[in-house]
Chain A
Amino acid sequence: MSASLAAAASTASSANEAPAISVKDMRKCFGDHEVLKGISLEAHKGDVISILGSSGSGKSTLLRCINLLETPDSGEVRVDGELIKMKPGRDGNQLPADIRQVERIRANLAMVFQSFNLWSHMTVLENLVAAPTHVLKRPRAECLEQAEALLKRVGIWERRNYYPPHMSGGQQQRAAIARALAMNPKVMLFDEPTSALDPELVGEVLRVMRSLAEEGRTMLVVTHEMGFARDVSSQVMFLHKGEVDCLGEPKEMFARPSTQQFKQFITNFNK
Chain B
Amino acid sequence: MDYNFYLSTMWSVLKALPLTLEIWFFGIAFGLVIATGLTWLRASGYKSGEYFTRAYVFVFRGSPLLVQLYLIYFGLSQFDFVRHSPILWPILRDPMYCTIVAMALNTAAYESEIFRGALRAVPVGQIEAAKAFGMSPITRFRLVTLPIALRLALPAYSTEIILMTKATALASVVTIMEMMGTAQKIQHDTFRPIEVLTCAGVVYLLLNLSIARLFAWVEYLLSPHLRPAPEQSQQIKPVPEVL
Q: Which B residues between 122 and 138 are near A, CB-CB below 8 angstroms?
A: 123, 125-126, 128-136
B-contact 0/1 string along A117-141, CB 8 Å cutoff: 1111100000000110011000000
Secondary structure at the B interface, as helix, strand, loop or mixed, is: helix
CB of A131 within 8 A of CB of B135, answer: yes
Q: Which residue of chain B has the shortest Cβ distance to A107 in the bound complex?
A: B134
- Which residues of the other chain, B, contact A135 by a CB distance below 8 angstroms? 133-136, 139
How many of A's residues come within 8 Å of B, CB to CB?
A: 33
Instruction: Indicate whether B229 reaches chain A with its CB closer than 8 angstroms.
Output: yes
Q: Which residue of chain A has the shortest Cβ distance to B137 in the bound complex?
A: A99
Instruction: Indicate whether A265 reaches chain B with its CB closer than 8 angstroms.
Output: no
Binds A, one of B71-79, B109-117, B141-149: B141-149
CB of A67 within 8 A of CB of B225, answer: no
Q: Which residue of chain A has the shortest Cβ distance to B125 in the bound complex?
A: A117
Can you spell out 30 A-B residue pairs with CB atoms less than 8 angstroms apart?
A69-B128, A69-B131, A103-B134, A103-B136, A107-B134, A111-B132, A111-B133, A113-B129, A113-B132, A115-B125, A118-B129, A119-B129, A119-B143, A120-B123, A120-B126, A120-B148, A121-B147, A121-B222, A121-B225, A130-B133, A130-B143, A131-B133, A131-B135, A135-B139, A162-B229, A162-B230, A163-B225, A164-B225, A179-B133, A183-B134
Instruction: Indicate whether B236 reaches chain A with its CB closer than 8 angstroms.
Output: no
A-contact 0/1 string along B146-180, CB 8 Å cutoff: 01100100000000000000000000000000000
CB of A106 within 8 A of CB of B225, answer: no
Instruction: Indicate whether A165 reaches chain B with its CB closer than 8 angstroms.
Output: yes
- Which residues of the other chain, A, contact B222 by a CB distance below 8 angstroms? 121
CB of B129 within 8 A of CB of A106, answer: no
CB of B225 within 8 A of CB of A165, answer: yes
CB of B133 within 8 A of CB of A113, answer: no
Q: Which residue of chain A has the shortest Cβ distance to B150 in the bound complex?
A: A121
Query: What CA separation (Å) do A166 and B222 show in the bound complex?
Result: 15
CB of A121 within 8 A of CB of B151, answer: yes
- Which residues of the other chain, B, contact A183 by a CB distance below 8 angstroms? 133-134
CB of B132 within 8 A of CB of A119, answer: no
Query: What CA separation (Å) do A134 and B140 show in the bound complex?
Result: 10
CB of A166 within 8 A of CB of B135, answer: no
A110-B230 contact given A120-B126, A121-B225, A134-B143, CB 8 Å threshold: no
- Which residues of the other chain, A, contact B144 by a CB distance below 8 angstroms? 119
- Which residues of the other chain, B, contact A120 by a CB distance below 8 angstroms? 123, 126, 148, 225
CB of A131 within 8 A of CB of B134, answer: yes
Query: What CA separation (Å) do A162 and B228 show in the bound complex?
Result: 11
Instruction: Indicate whether A104 reaches chain B with its CB closer than 8 angstroms.
Output: yes
CB of A163 within 8 A of CB of B224, answer: yes
Query: What CA separation (Å) do A103 and B140 show in the bound complex?
Result: 11
Query: What CA separation (Å) do A183 and B134 show in the bound complex?
Result: 10
CB of B128 within 8 A of CB of A103, answer: no
- Which residues of the other chain, B, contact A131 by a CB distance below 8 angstroms? 133-135
